[in-house]
Chain A
Amino acid sequence: MARVFMKGTEAVAEAAVRAGCRFFAGYPITPQNEVPEYLSRRLPEVGGVFVQGESEVASINMVYGAASAGTRSMTSSSSPGIALKSEGISYCAAARVPMVYANFARGGPGVGSIQPAQQDYLQATKASGNGGFRMPVLAPATVQEAVDLTVKAFDWADRDRTPVLLLADGVIGTMMEPVVLPEPKSDEEVAAIKESKKSWACIGHELDYAHRAWIQPGNWSTLVMQQCNEEAAAMYESWKDEAMVEEYRTEDAEIILTAYGICGRIAKSAVNLLRAEGIKAGMVRPITVYPFPEAAYDRLDYTKVKAILDVEMSIPALFVEDVKAAVKGRCPIETCLCSGGNIMSREAVIEAAKKLVEG
């Protein structure tokens, strides 16, 4: 397919349509307004439905309804808006309703700032709603990866009947880059996906007590509720093998930069410049931040690695908690941080890395 030049938000929206998404509900919030704007004109072209919800809360629940009825569905927002959706996300997880949502994260806490940030890490990976559920969290570092992960998100959501989060940030959303878009699913393929969910979708069934659709985000029976949670826990465990990671020039590295999303891209560039100066730097970039690719940190040669530099656009450091759990004390971990909507500077990363090397 030919390459096209697209903004991150619009590329994600177009990728969703091509992946078979036929319902989107959302509410305006910067910096992701192009997603609903784009889909308001694009979805009707393919027989899909766009609704501007009266709130973030209503929007996620419209998605809950459409996805419960078997349609590939999506919503998107940015940090404070994602917080408002958290109840609905929890309901989707509990009721095993497959859906995709994107967070083009901005500064926080509170209304924060409208510029890019990675302050939502704990919310995204540990507690996107009440009740202790998990879901795949995919963190793109380029617009191309955002497109590819959007498609993957829909497939993963349907395969396991789970919500999937595309954890992007204001840089990925507002940046324009050349991308190769996926082949669009045909009307027949989209219809077949919906048809495959008919047995459980809440759309009406022949009168048969055993086979009504019963999509419930909880259960009156504590025993059944525990059983649901045990099944979910087994599913989370099975995801461990599906963790995705980019490991870059790690084989002989003495210093490892680790970062996700846009910071991973900045760190990768810093690795190349450090190498040009003769410093043996490498990078570990989790692409799935849940499941977390712990194995990549096991693969490091700790006889060579002197230190790990955690690079993130969050103060306090949040991603570093998962890094620490994966590294298990095998080498020192330092941080290079910015916050408030400021974008990580490559020079700051290089300087911090050099300091570590010098000891």
Chain B
Amino acid sequence: MNKIYTRTKTIQADKVSGFCPGCMHSTVIKLIGEVLEELNVVDKAACVLGIGCCGLHMDYIAYDNTTAPHGRACAVATGMKRTNPDSLVFTYQGDGDFASIGLAESMSAANRGENITVIFINNGIYGMTGGQMAPTTLVGMKATTAPKGRDPKEHGYPMHMCEILNQLTAPYYLERTSCNTPANVNKTKAAIKKAFQNQLDGKGFSMVEIVTGCPTNWGLDALRSLDFIEEKMLPEYPLGVIRDRSKEEA
């Protein structure tokens, strides 16, 4: 029998994922690894991790990585890429990291059109610290710091980072995907591949926002969190390509 599927070599063979059941970080990290291998750029990869669950895989990925102070990944990636243009520099950040504490660094790197790639995980909540309200938390959704649910009068509304960055001129590619179905997993992989290829081609700032679940802090089991993504998250965060300058160039 032919072996048609193997685990990506970019995840160390003897290491075990530390993510909760139903968490999609492991899915996305696997996709990143597969794309790095398919593009033959593992030896160029320099990953800047955010703070939070998005940094939990530092121990078992096999490519170069560092951890930025909370929210500063896009600034760290800027310094890295500007001085080493041949490296493939990408950040891996959650919504608290990218869209709350790191808003200035995220917006400014995008506005400069830095030739980096951002993998942005949006699960609408702070995971590692235990379910506090995020800038992406849905209206009415409960969090440990919003026990009655997010109330727009007090907390404002969920932030749509793809659409916000789409107001800037410089970004080259902005796409929102999810990993809630096999088809969406495939689309996410294609988007990551495109975002990395853009950087290799010197096109500038690319971001893939991936809508994922956090069963542990949503208080749902893995299957019901898939329903929650479909029924609640995706209407708020519609999937698709928000910006693709290559289409305008064509």
A66 and chain B: residue at smallest CB distance? B79
Contact of A207 among B10, B65, B68, B107 (CB under 8 A): B10
**In the complex, A290 has a CB within 8 A of chain B:** no
CA distance in complex: A336, B94 (Å):
52
Q: Given the known A-B contacts A51-B82, A55-B104, A73-B79, are A87 and B66 also in contact in the complex, defined by CB atoms under 8 Å? A: no
Cβ-defined contact, B105 with A58, below 8 A: yes
Cβ-defined contact, B43 with A62, below 8 A: no
Cβ-defined contact, B75 with A69, below 8 A: no
B17-56 to A contact mask, C-beta < 8 Å, 1/0:
0000000000000000000000001111110100000000
Q: Given the known A-B contacts A23-B79, A54-B108, A62-B78, are A202 and B64 also in contact in the complex, defined by CB atoms under 8 Å? A: yes
CA distance in complex: A184, B134 (Å):
50
Q: Return chain B residues, CB-CB under 8 Å to A106.
A: none
B42 and chain A: residue at smallest CB distance? A207
CA distance in complex: A9, B46 (Å):
34
Which residues of A in the span 70-99 have a Cβ within 8 Å of any Cβ on B? 70-71, 73, 87-88, 91, 95
Cβ-defined contact, A68 with B63, below 8 A: no
Cβ-defined contact, A66 with B66, below 8 A: no
**In the complex, B234 has a CB within 8 A of chain A:** no
Q: Return chain B residues, CB-CB under 8 Å to A22.
A: 83
CA distance in complex: A62, B104 (Å):
13
Cβ-defined contact, B87 with A212, below 8 A: no
A201-228 to B contact mask, C-beta < 8 Å, 1/0:
0111111110011111110100000000
CA distance in complex: A250, B69 (Å):
47
Cβ-defined contact, B75 with A202, below 8 A: no
**In the complex, A64 has a CB within 8 A of chain B:** yes
Q: Return chain A residues, CB-CB under 8 Å to B230.
A: none
A206 and chain B: residue at smallest CB distance? B43
**In the complex, A63 has a CB within 8 A of chain B:** yes
Q: How many residues of A contact B (CB 8 A)?
A: 43
Q: Return chain B residues, CB-CB under 8 Å to A71.
A: 83-84
Q: Return chain A residues, CB-CB under 8 Å to B48.
A: 65
Cβ-defined contact, A61 with B43, below 8 A: no
CA distance in complex: A217, B58 (Å):
12
Cβ-defined contact, B64 with A203, below 8 A: yes
Cβ-defined contact, A62 with B76, below 8 A: yes
Which residues of B in the span 106-144 have a Cβ within 8 Å of any Cβ on A? 107-108
**In the complex, B72 has a CB within 8 A of chain A:** yes
**In the complex, A257 has a CB within 8 A of chain B:** no
Q: Given the known A-B contacts A58-B105, A69-B80, A204-B43, are A53 and B64 also in contact in the complex, defined by CB atoms under 8 Å? A: no
CA distance in complex: A164, B45 (Å):
28
Cβ-defined contact, A91 with B104, below 8 A: no
A30-74 to B contact mask, C-beta < 8 Å, 1/0:
000000000000000000010101110111011111111111010
Cβ-defined contact, B104 with A69, below 8 A: no
CA distance in complex: A65, B75 (Å):
7
Cβ-defined contact, A58 with B46, below 8 A: no
Cβ-defined contact, B62 with A212, below 8 A: yes
Cβ-defined contact, A54 with B79, below 8 A: no
CA distance in complex: A203, B43 (Å):
8
Cβ-defined contact, B59 with A220, below 8 A: yes
**In the complex, A25 has a CB within 8 A of chain B:** yes
CA distance in complex: A206, B45 (Å):
10
Q: Return chain A residues, CB-CB under 8 Å to B107.
A: 54
Q: Return chain B residues, CB-CB under 8 Å to A55.
A: 104
Output the least CB separation between A211 and chain B (Å). 10
Contact of A49 among B44, B59, B83, B104 (CB under 8 A): B83
CA distance in complex: A51, B81 (Å):
12
CA distance in complex: A87, B58 (Å):
20
CA distance in complex: A158, B6 (Å):
41
Cβ-defined contact, A68 with B76, below 8 A: yes
Q: Given the known A-B contacts A61-B79, A203-B46, are A54 and B105 also in contact in the complex, defined by CB atoms under 8 Å? A: yes
A71 and chain B: residue at smallest CB distance? B83
CA distance in complex: A214, B61 (Å):
10
B41 and chain A: residue at smallest CB distance? A204
Cβ-defined contact, B65 with A202, below 8 A: yes
**In the complex, B207 has a CB within 8 A of chain A:** no
**In the complex, B12 has a CB within 8 A of chain A:** yes
With a 10 A CB-CB cut-off, give which of B72, B87, B88, B105 has the most chain A CB atoms.
B72
Q: Return chain B residues, CB-CB under 8 Å to A51.
A: 78-79, 82
**In the complex, B77 has a CB within 8 A of chain A:** yes
Cβ-defined contact, B68 with A61, below 8 A: yes
CA distance in complex: A63, B81 (Å):
11
Contact of B82 among A66, A205, A212, A214 (CB under 8 A): A66
Q: What are 21 A-B pairs with beta-carbon distances under 8 A?
A: A25-B78, A25-B79, A54-B107, A61-B79, A64-B68, A64-B69, A64-B72, A64-B79, A65-B48, A65-B76, A65-B81, A65-B83, A68-B76, A73-B79, A88-B72, A91-B69, A205-B43, A207-B42, A207-B62, A213-B66, A214-B64
Q: A57-B75, A69-B87 are in contact. List 13 more A-B contacts (CB 8 A).
A: A22-B83, A23-B79, A54-B108, A63-B79, A64-B69, A69-B84, A202-B64, A203-B44, A204-B87, A212-B65, A214-B64, A214-B66, A215-B66
Which 10 residue pairs are nearest across A and B when measured between Cβ atoms? A65-B79, A66-B79, A65-B76, A62-B79, A61-B75, A54-B108, A61-B72, A65-B80, A204-B44, A213-B64
